[in-house]
Amino acid sequence: MSDDKNKTGSTPGVCSVCGAKLAEGVSRCEICGSAVKSAPTRGRRRQASPVTLSLPAALGILLLFTVLAVGLTYLAMRGLGVATPEVDEATPTLTPTETATSEPTPTSTQVYTPTPLPTIDHIVDAGDSLLAIAVRYDVSIQSILQLNPGLNSESILTVGQHLNLPQPTPTPSPEPTSTLPPAAATIAACNIVVYTVEANDTLGAIAANYNVSLRGIMEFNDMANETVFLGQILKIPLCERNPTPGPTPTPTPPPPYPAPDLLLPQDGSPFSLAQDTITVQWASVGELRENEFYRIHVVDITEGSGTRTIIDYVKDTKYILPTSFRPNDSIPHIMRWWVDVVRQTGVTTGGEPSYTSGGAASVERVFTWSGAAPEVTPTP
């Protein structure tokens, strides 16, 4: 019976590489693919049949064993307390590339050249002089002489003569000032106390508490009657306080007046010997109080004539220059004039009234006034 067993084949063996059990008659291990040597049989040697394994299956088996080996190694190292070395990723180093710098292109700087203004062609009229023409066009005599080389300061002008005159230099206008009307300015200058009506309050009691007239509180709060309500807000005008016995309290100064607007004569107007008097006029700044006046200034500023000045106080918006102020020589004199508002505040030790400014002064204007006609020497 043993001979029969030997003839049919040997019992399954074990792979000498991976230790896997082998089926009877296989020539390669199905697990690792290693060749298996057949065990010798008694009697005749049996020819082992070849076993083939596809390439994807072999690669899969190899990958599986690789994963198992890595996992077992990791677990073994964790169990022994060995830290797993971290692999630093290589940081790529950038090599700077030299960039060519372009040379700056020179830029030409443009110089602003002002364009000269065209001159004014003036035809000399009767009574014209260099001074009168300079005042009328608001230019200097020197600038006229520079544009007219044949002239000098003592040249005599003839009627019909052409003169080149420079353009007048524009005078910047003063910044406008915000001026309130007198009524609004009085309210703005008044100190106000805000009071909330409480229980059992009356308007008369509130007025007496602040020493303010009852009528003043009503007008300031636009009240039709004296009835007040709990929680009502009232504005108490302290500038409406009743006079207190004893020293007279200092009154609240009224607001300043705006600068008067000058009307006539126009700036640079010429006047000749035919005018015995000259009237200057200006616009009203409002109703003046009893102690307020317009102060008129007139100054003869002609060089070499000596300074003559008029300062007078009027309630009207015009003033007549007397004949006595007219020049006595034949040279046209330049008169500068302006107006402001003043308040009389008392009397000086000499008995003259003293004044303080009550507002801004007007702009200054000029006019020329020719005096006596030049004497003519008779020709023999």
- Which sequence spans correspond to the domains of the chain? 1-79, 120-165, 192-240, 262-369
CATH of domain 192-240: 3.10.350.10
> At residue 193, what are phi and psi to the nearest 5 degrees?
-115, 130
Domain 192-240 and domain 262-369, same fold? Reply is no
pTM over 0.75: no
- The C-alpha atoms of residue 359 and residue 185 are separated, in whole angstroms, by 13
- Beta strand pairing status for 365-369 and 333-347? antiparallel
CA distances from 62 to 33, 73, 297 (A): 10, 17, 121
Q: What fold is seen in the domain 120-165?
A: Membrane-bound Lytic Murein Transglycosylase D; Chain A (3.10.350)
Helix (H) or strand (E) holding 345: strand 333-347
Whose CA is closest to 25, among 1, 2, 47? 47
Q: Which two tokens stand for residue 300?
A: 């003869």
pLDDT tens string, the chain, 380 residues long: the values are 444 444 444 445 777 777 777 777 777 777 777 777 655 545 455 555 555 667 888 888 888 889 888 888 888 887 766 555 554 555 556 565 666 555 666 656 566 566 667 888 889 888 788 888 888 888 888 888 888 888 887 778 888 888 888 887 666 555 555 565 665 665 666 788 888 999 888 888 888 888 888 888 888 888 888 888 888 998 888 887 776 655 555 666 677 888 999 988 998 888 887 777 889 999 998 888 888 999 999 988 886 555 688 899 999 999 998 888 888 877 888 888 999 999 988 888 877 888 988 888 999 999 988 876 545 555 55
Domain 262-369 is classified in which CATH homologous superfamily? Immunoglobulins (2.60.40.10)
Q: Are 129 and 370 in contact (CB under 8 A)?
A: no
Mention every residue, 6+ apart, whose C-beta is less than 8 A from residue 125. Answer: 159
Confidence (pLDDT) at 5: 45
Q: Which two tokens stand for residue 344?
A: 């009389």
CA distances from 226 to 107, 208, 219, 239 (A): 80, 14, 11, 20
